[in-house]
Amino acid sequence: MTWWRSAAIYQIYPRSFADGNADGVGDLAGVRARLPYLASLGVDALWFNPWYPSSGADGGYDVIDYRDIDPVYGTLAEAEKLIAEAREFGLRTIVDIVPNHVSHLHPWFVNGRRELFWFRDRPNNWKSEFGGSPWTQLPDGSWYLHLFTAEQPDVNWTHPLVRAEHEDVLRFWFDRGAAGVRIDSAVLPVKDPLLPDQVDGEPHPFVDRDELHDIYRSWRAIAESYGAILIGELWLPDASRFAKYLRPDELHTAFNFDFLACPWDAARLRASIDTTLAAHAPVDAPATWVLSNHDVTRVVTRYGRADTSFSFGAKRAGVWSDVALGTRRARAAALLAMALPGAVYVYQGEELGLPEYEVPADAIRDPMHFRSGGVDPGRDGCRIPLPWSGASPPYGFGSTPTWLPQPDGWEGLTVEAQDGAPDSMLNLYRGGLHLRRAFGGGMAWRDAPPGVLSFARAQGGSCTTNLSSTPIPLPPGELLLSSVPLEDGLLPPDATAWLTPA
């Protein structure tokens, strides 16, 4: 089964997708009611951000029970129904597994199973992924490690129970029909057991430790026995270290954050594509193409800024964006990503061209904002409840107040508004996701002027993206789809066209 090698995977952030019971929070009933929408988009699978009971400190990534559903979303029985119903629509389900940490309200932590965590008499010099120290002191004077928030204690992977528990959780979801798992923070779970200070030039004490590969090999064996897949969240700058996780007996695929973070620049994008393909080829893993997710700035906003790259450390509030320009580029980028060989990800709302919405200060929920001392605006702005219909909040989402506020002015971005508009972002995504199914095989670059990316796929056609400032003639072939209309037969700037094979 190789569906995943060229799949389109839609990411659902359950809290903000659709609200079935009108309490202002998305839920499984909301997703079930929208399965026809998802099927009509032309995606092959749904990845759900964590839907487990959670202490709510980090958008569900602080899990209390990996074998249940948070009551705010529904029940386990309903999740089973959803998985089965989605399958009838041709949509596979991928669940999010969080191996690095649990909630501070997880029974292991509550019951004082200290051997399953990292307790020490004093902190070391490590830095939290969210800023500040990753150590918190308990009333008895001892300190425990948490690479994210204090509500997310890191578990100790040298303990056999931690391994056994996660392997059992994998089986639990595969038994319920999950077609795969997305592995959260997949380069972080293993620590140097001595917890030494981090020293420049020394092996990193908690990122990308060699022992991880053995863990993922045993996960792969379990996944294989179900025909399920493993997708890694690997934030690793080194492409060759990254590819090691994709060896044939480890993870099936991993998110391509290099492409996601790349600025809107032809040479940089081409280099990212080449590096990606070169890193994946030796391990025979398919590449993935990702423009956004629940952690990063919305694409139409990012591409409309002076600096079109993404990086966590550089996030600031109130950076001006030409959203019309960003939207035009995002349309071109979507067709580029969809035409490349491998799998493509669509984060909910990307298909609607939603911009980042920086919520008012008193509505901010994201711990990244608070742990940065307020410097980082946080990730709420890409997690706003989806606008489905109507002219004002809650835009058909459920009822107001929604758990994060929606802005005014999104009436033109609702599914209802875009559904019948041939030129909408939604219909561009639908067209692209359906047509890309004809693309197959490898890709070969064509000669193109500076600022232009042009390649042909072995099957299905070719893709040309114009990042230069002048309109360009297209290579031979009939037009299949373009991100904006051609002008006098030429492809204008910030646009992509797909053509039939020459």
Interaction pattern, residues 422-461, with ligand GLC; x per rule: CB under 6 A: ----------------------------------------
Nearest Cα neighbor of 326 from 294, 292, 276, 295 is 292
Q: What is the CA radius of gyration of the chain?
A: 22
Q: By the 8 A CB rule, do 313 and 368 touch?
A: no
- Told to check if 48 binds ligand GLC by CB under 6 A, we report no
For the CB of residue 59, give the shortest distance to ligand GLC in the complex, in Å: 6
For the CB of residue 490, give the shortest distance to ligand GLC in the complex, in Å: 41
For the CB of residue 61, give the shortest distance to ligand GLC in the complex, in Å: 3
Residue 268: how many other CB atoms lie within 10 Å: 16
- Told to check if 58 binds ligand GLC by CB under 6 A, we report yes
- Told to check if 174 binds ligand GLC by CB under 6 A, we report no
Which residues fall within 8 angstroms of residue 217, CB to CB, at 6 or more apart? Answer: 249, 250
Segment near ligand GLC (CB under 6 A), from 55-63, 117-125, 424-432, 441-449?
Answer: 55-63
Q: By the 8 A CB rule, do 41 and 52 touch?
A: no
Interaction pattern, residues 137-166, with ligand GLC; x per rule: CB under 6 A: -----------x------------------
- Told to check if 250 binds ligand GLC by CB under 6 A, we report no
Instruction: In whole angstroms, give the CA distance from residue 337 to residue 334.
Output: 5
Q: By the 8 A CB rule, do 58 and 152 touch?
A: yes
Question: In the 3-class helix/strand/coil scheme, how is 131-148 assigned residue by residue?
Answer: CCCCEEECCCCCEEECCC
- Told to check if 376 binds ligand GLC by CB under 6 A, we report no
Interaction pattern, residues 293-332, with ligand GLC; x per rule: CB under 6 A: -xx-------------------------------------
Instruction: In whole angstroms, give the CA distance from residue 253 to residue 355.
Output: 28
**Per rule CB under 6 A, count of chain residues that contact ligand GLC:** 10
Report the amino acid identity of residue 222: I
Instruction: In whole angstroms, give the CA distance from residue 281 to residue 273.
Output: 12
Residue closer to ligand GLC (CB basis): 154 or 494: 154
- Told to check if 185 binds ligand GLC by CB under 6 A, we report yes
Tokens of 371: 């742990």
- Told to check if 98 binds ligand GLC by CB under 6 A, we report yes
Point out the residue whose Cβ comes nearest to ligand GLC: 61
- Told to check if 380 binds ligand GLC by CB under 6 A, we report no
Bridge partner list, 97: 183
Which residues fall within 8 angstroms of residue 184, CB to CB, at 6 or more apart? Answer: 50, 61, 96, 97, 98, 99, 100, 233
Segment near ligand GLC (CB under 6 A), from 54-62, 153-161, 257-265, 352-360?
Answer: 54-62
Residue 75 exposure: Cα atoms within 13 Å on the Cβ side: 3
- Told to check if 184 binds ligand GLC by CB under 6 A, we report yes
For the CB of residue 365, give the shortest distance to ligand GLC in the complex, in Å: 12
Q: What is the binding site for ligand GLC (CB under 6 A)?
A: 58-59, 61, 98, 148, 184-185, 233, 294-295
